[in-house]
Amino acid sequence: MASEKPTMILLSKSDMSKEEISGLSDGEAWKLIYSIRTVKAKDTRLQVCFTGFGTSKKQELTDLANANNFKVVLSVTKKLDFLCGDENAGPKKIEKAEAQGVQFLNEGQFIQLIETGEIPNAT
């Protein structure tokens, strides 16, 4: 017979009756609970980080990226696809991105990417 905790979880997360649950062992009940857990969908959007821009320009580019289904992140992460920077871009951020093989874009190249869907050649 399933103990109180898995019984309560199964009553709230499944269509099973109390009688059906009482016929389960604790192991069977927990196995069912883990099998019905929802799997979090992975975010597969391209990631972009903006650096070296003034506040208003950065917000403008962030809004443009969000409107075009990019995920905007605040730092260089392992999943970063593009680092978009201006003349005040931090050298450490650029260095970390380059070490990870992240493509660096300037503002014009990022806008070109949005407009054409093509990754611009590095200059």
Q: How do the domains of the chain map onto residue ranges?
A: 4-36, 47-116
CA gap 82, 118 in Å, rounded: 13
Give which of 31, 33, 11, 13 is closest to 21, Cα–Cα. 11
Q: Identify the bridge partners of residue 48 per DSSP, sorted by sequence position.
A: 72, 82
**What is the domain class of 47-116 according to CATH?**
alpha beta
pLDDT, tens digit (0-9, with 9 covering 90-100), for 29-40: 999 888 887 666
- Alpha carbons 28 and 18: distance in angstroms, whole number: 14
Q: Sheet harboring 103-105: ordered strands across?
A: 71-73, 47-51, 82-85, 103-105
Task: Give tens-digit pLDDT for 34-80.
Answer: 888 766 678 889 999 999 999 999 999 999 999 999 999 999 999 99
**Encoding tokens for residue 49?**
């980080």
Instruction: Please count the other Cβ atoms lying within 10 Å of the Cβ belonging to residue 72.
Output: 17
